[in-house]
Amino acid sequence: MTENSSDNRPQSARRLALALIALTILFCCVSAFGAYRFTSLFEKEKAAQNVLQEKLQAVMLIQSSVLDLQTYVLDGDTRARDRLSDKTGQLEVLMHNNSSDKDYQQMYEAFHMWRQMLAVPMIGKRQEFDTSSLNFSEMGIAYIQANAPMHQRRIEELGAQALKASKDNLDAIHGEIAGALFPLLLLTASTGITALIIAFLLMRSL
């Protein structure tokens, strides 16, 4: 019986060694897959964050343009008029860089309509007021007739929708990362613990 036990030891050790090698290969494969998967997800997350930041920049440019127009119309501050012109150029660059994005298209179309239907006419009215050819009441009537609240509300709604869509997309990516992390950690831990057990049994069989 002692001789049979001695003969079985090399066979057991060989099987344990093969199992350990298989687990090591599995561990390497799991690690490689996990690295690839998380690299892809983190790149996706970074891209989504960049999109959100750019859309936030576009929304802030539009909102501040509305305030600049109001400042120029009420106070005649030409710096506000110049800022409005600069921000229009910045929005056009953002639109050009994201021309395939539906949210940018909708925001820019609404901004363009606001500019053509409200901003440009009111800038002209303010210039008439500054030359004393128009009184303040007439300028206020022109502002109301241009339906300023409707244009501004439309701009605000589209901006909020664009930001919500980007935030939802980023949250979904975070969910993917969390969903992939737990199974991978569990599989990695299970593989590591099993490998340790086999290594311990292998040492005892020698």
> Does the CA dihedral 101-104-105-106 come out positive or negative?
positive
pLDDT attached to residue 8: 61
CA atoms within a 13 Å half-sphere pointing along the CA-CB vector of 197: 8
Percent of the chain scored above 70 by pLDDT? 92
Cα–Cα distances in angstroms (integers) from residue 11 to residues 100, 203, 204, 206, in the given order: 65, 13, 13, 11
pLDDT tens digits for 19-71?
777 778 877 787 788 788 888 888 999 999 999 999 999 999 999 999 999 89
Q: What is the pTM of this model?
A: 0.72
Q: Which two tokens stand for residue 79?
A: 């710096």
pLDDT tens digits for 103-134?
988 998 999 999 998 999 999 888 888 887 77
Tally of helices (H runs) and strands (E runs) in the chain: 6, 0
pLDDT attached to residue 7: 54
pLDDT attached to residue 192: 74
Q: How far apart are CA 160 and CA 127, in angstroms?
A: 33
Q: Which two tokens stand for residue 145?
A: 């007739």
Using an 8 Å Cβ cutoff, are 160 and 56 in contact? Answer: no
Q: What Rg do the C-alpha atoms of the chain give, in angstroms?
A: 33
Q: How far apart are CA 97 and CA 163, in angstroms?
A: 17
Q: How far apart are CA 104 and CA 9, in angstroms?
A: 71
